[in-house]
Amino acid sequence: MAETRLSGVAVSPGRARGPVVRVAEPLGEPPRTPAPADPAADAARIGPAAAAVAQRLEDLAAAAQGEAADILFTTAAMANDPGLVGEAERLVTVEGLPAPRAVYDAAGGFARSLAAAGGYLAERVRDIQDVRDRIVAELLGVSPPGVPELDSPSVLVARDLAPADTAGLEPAKVLALVTEQGGPTSHTAILARALGIPAVVAVRGLLELDAEALLVDGDTGVVEPADPRAPVVTADRQAGAEWNGVGETADGHRVRILANVGSVADARAAADAGAEGVGLFRTEFCYLDAPSEPSADEQRAAYAAILAPFAGKPVVVRTLDAGADKPLAFLAPDPEPNPALGVRGLRVARERPEVLDRQLAAIAAAAAESGAEVSVMAPMVATAEEAAWFAGRVRAAGIARAGVMIEIPAAALAAREILEVTDFVSVGTNDLAQYTFAADRQLGAVAALNDPWQPALLRLIALVGEAARATGKPAGVCGEAAADPRLARVLTGLGITSLSMNAAAIRSVGASLAEVGFADCEAAARGALTGKR
């Protein structure tokens, strides 16, 4: 047995040891020849194959919950996308490609366009590749790639995992996930946390590692060979079961434990998990599939349904986070050479303030209907002047509390000035890391730079914490970093006053804070700022 010790990015906490099961590699490129004898008949096979794949994904989604269900339904919609199917049919009938190759090439074009767009759309490249492989397998009459049937608890090893594969895992049979690609905000990472499975991604050299068993540390990112004869070690997925539901340290320092939601299922799961409120309600989910701007009544109804489980509790609603990297038909964005740095978030609202005003009116109406204590914040804010403009718009709509996201290093550096014109701020660690390190958060090769434990990122968050203390106003964290129970202590020590995360992490984060005093959190923060975990 090789004694190689590898490391990657820890994305879901816990330690586990057990036998390795390798996930099959995706299908290779289908051949371009021979040309079909009857192109029309071959093209006619594509639609039913795509529909069959979509139906299987929808069936998986119906059996899943929360984020897993949302991701599976989205992937199913991609499989049935008329644009994908239509382009593949054209490649058969016009260019004479066999149906499997036509699907492969059509999906490749879609994937390149998504990757070039950056941001949210770039995150969907793995999804379209998964859909491609499933449709190609359907056309070839072979089993699709993915996770094999597990006979006993095992450590899954893969180049990467498709969202549908991860969402369909049985936690009782998966000790840990380890991938050579991926990043801290990939679907593999998000769903592993939601399922309570220890996971490490971006482990270079993983597929060359010859080991029958692995020890996986989802806290430190270390992956090393283990004795295959040693007993299986299952991660403790019940951590946090004794949490009393109040976010505070052992000596009573208050830190609200909140949830990130984007659907009714998310909101219900968060309420059931004991969330003290919502720190990030992503409203763009109400827009992304809409061919035109939803009406005020449609928006109100959608928002009210998600707010309902939190009557009497605080909910922070983020206004539409759209733009060049999340193009919406009714906004008609102009092409941009670098969408990640273009007109998105609040920048769209300033160009189209009537869209923002209609959304704010709908949020205010939904707040009154639901009884939730609603605050509103804007994404992609860079300056205090932008923050003041937004706050004025929010208050004019009859909403009492206005805040902004800290996702750009400039905003972290200007946090005190921003807090002087708003009521609160919330740090989006995913984008803040991406912009701080100039590292695409979906690119495995630079995943280590997007690790939320990076000292440079924590120093920016410390500036936000200092500004919050100086102004006497709250500062939250709503990026995936908040879901790490150990990092939650560091963030608390940096002056963060609320932590917002996926529902599955709520109890473990609450319990982690309850075990230590505030002085311990401050000591952990001092160490983390110098690179010590």
Query: Which amino acid type is present at position 184?
Result: P
Q: What is d(CA 123, CA 108) in angstroms, rounded to the nearest whole number?
A: 15
Give, to the nearest 10 degrees, the angle between helix 99-117 and helix 46-63: 60
Measure Cα distances from 79 to 117, 271, 528 in Å: 20, 32, 43
Spatial contact of 165 and 171, defined as CB atoms under 8 Å apart: no
- Cβ partners under 8 Å of residue 480, min gap 6: 11, 184, 185, 189, 190, 193, 429, 430, 452, 501
156-213 residue pLDDT tens: 999 888 777 777 788 889 999 999 988 777 777 877 887 788 999 989 899 999 999 9
Report the 10 Å Cβ neighbour count for 149: 7
State the burial class of residue 230 (Cβ atoms within 10 Å of its Cβ: 0-12, 13-18, 19+).
exposed
Determine whether 521 is an active site residue: no
Query: Which amino acid type is present at position 443?
Result: L
Determine whether 253 is an active site residue: no
pLDDT in the model for residue 118:
58
Average pLDDT value for the chain: 89
pLDDT in the model for residue 325:
53
pLDDT in the model for residue 224:
94
Cα Rg of the chain, angstroms: 23
For residue 306, the number of C-alpha atoms closer than 13 Å in the C-beta half-sphere is 28
Tell me what percent of the residues of the chain surpass a pLDDT of 90. 61
pLDDT in the model for residue 314:
98
Report the 10 Å Cβ neighbour count for 411: 27
What string of H, E and C letters represents the secondary structure of 104-145?
Answer: HHHHHHHHHHHHHHCHHHHCCHHHHHHHHHHHHHHHHCCCCC
Q: What is the pTM of this model?
A: 0.75
Residue in 490, 515, 487, 483 with CA at minimum distance from that of residue 12: 483
pLDDT in the model for residue 69:
77
State the burial class of residue 264 (Cβ atoms within 10 Å of its Cβ: 0-12, 13-18, 19+).
middle
- Cβ partners under 8 Å of residue 155, min gap 6: 16, 17, 18, 19, 20, 21, 174, 175, 176, 177, 178, 213, 214, 216
DSSP secondary structure of 401-428: EEEEEE-SHHHHHTHHHHHHHSSEEEE-
231-269 residue pLDDT tens: 888 876 544 457 999 999 999 999 999 999 988 888 998
263-272 residue pLDDT tens: 888 899 899 9
**Strand 314-318 and strand 373-378: pairing?**
parallel
- Kindly state the DSSP code that residue 238 receives in the 8-state scheme: T
What are the phi and psi torsion angles at 135 (to 5°)?
-70, -40
Q: H-type helices in 38-81, by residue range?
A: 39-44, 46-63, 66-79
In this predicted model, which residue has the larger pLDDT, 194 or 422? 422
pLDDT band with cut points at 50, 70 and 90 for residue 1: very low
The first and second tokens of residue 394, run together, are 């929010």
Q: Token pair 């066999």 is at which residue?
A: 98
476-531 residue pLDDT tens: 999 778 988 899 999 999 999 999 998 878 998 999 999 999 999 999 999 999 98
SS3 label, residue 378: strand
Give, to the nearest 10 degrees, the angle between helix 99-117 and helix 125-140: 180
Which helix (H) or strand (E) element contains residue 6?
Answer: strand 6-7
36-66 residue pLDDT tens: 999 999 999 999 999 999 998 988 888 777 6
Q: What is d(CA 316, CA 277) in angstroms, rounded to the nearest whole number?
A: 8
In this predicted model, which residue has the larger pLDDT, 366 or 285? 366
62-88 residue pLDDT tens: 877 766 777 788 888 889 889 999 999
Spatial contact of 355 and 389, defined as CB atoms under 8 Å apart: no
521: left (phi over 0), alpha (psi -120 to 50) or beta: alpha
pLDDT in the model for residue 333:
65
Out of 187, 253, 286, 521, the active site residue is 187
Count helices and strands in the chain by DSSP H and E runs? 21, 16
pLDDT in the model for residue 72:
82
pLDDT in the model for residue 161:
84
* 6-10, 137-141, 369-373, range with the lowest pLDDT: 6-10
Out of 253, 286, 478, 521, the active site residue is 478
* 28-32, 311-315, 321-325, 454-458, range with the lowest pLDDT: 321-325
Query: How far is the first Cα of the chain from the last one, in angstroms, to the nearest whole number?
Result: 30
Q: Token pair 């701080």 is at which residue?
A: 436
